[in-house]
Amino acid sequence: MAQIAKERVAGSLACLLGQGVLFLTLLFRLVYGVFADFTYSVVDMALSVGLLVFLLLVALAISRSLDAQRKLVIDQRQAVIAQSRFTSFGKMIGMIAHQWRAPLARQGAMLTELQILLEHPEKNHDVVARFRETLLPRMQENHQQLGQIFHDFQQFFASDVRREVFDICKEVDHTIALIATQQIPDIIDIEFLRPEGKVVVNNYPSAFTHVLLTIIENAIDIFAERDVLAPVVVISVMEYESGVLIRIADNGGGIHVTPIEKVFASFFSGKIEQGMGMGLHIAKMLVEDRMGGTLSVENLPTGACFDVYLWGG
Model confidence pLDDT, tens digit, residues 43-66: 555 555 556 666 666 666 677 777
Taking each helix axis from N to C end, the angle separating 136-156 and 205-226, rounded to the nearest 10 degrees, works out to: 90
The full set of domain ranges for the chain reads: 2-84, 89-156, 164-311
Whole-number pLDDT of residue 35: 46
Please tell me whether the peptide bond between 137 and the residue prior to it is cis, using omega within 30 degrees of 0: no
pTM surpassing 0.85? no
Chain centroid to Cα 295, Å, comes to: 12
- pLDDT tens series, the chain, 313 aa: 555 555 555 556 555 565 665 566 656 655 555 444 444 555 555 555 556 666 666 666 677 777 777 777 777 777 776 666 665 566 556 556 655 766 677 777 777 877 777 777 666 667 667 777 777 777 777 677 677 666 655 665 555 457 889 999 999 998 888 787 665 777 899 999 999 889 999 998 888 988 998 899 899 989 989 889 999 999 999 999 889 999 999 999 999 988 999 998 866 666 545 555 567 888 898 899 889 999 999 999 999 999 999 987 5
Other CB atoms closer than 10 Å to residue 297's CB: what's the count? 19
> Residue 131 contacts by C-beta under 8 Å, 6 or more apart in sequence?
114, 117
Q: Which residues contact 215 (CB under 8 A, 6 or more apart)?
A: 248, 280, 283, 306
The average confidence (pLDDT) of the chain is 75
Domain 164-311 homologous superfamily, CATH: Histidine kinase-like ATPase, C-terminal domain (3.30.565.10)
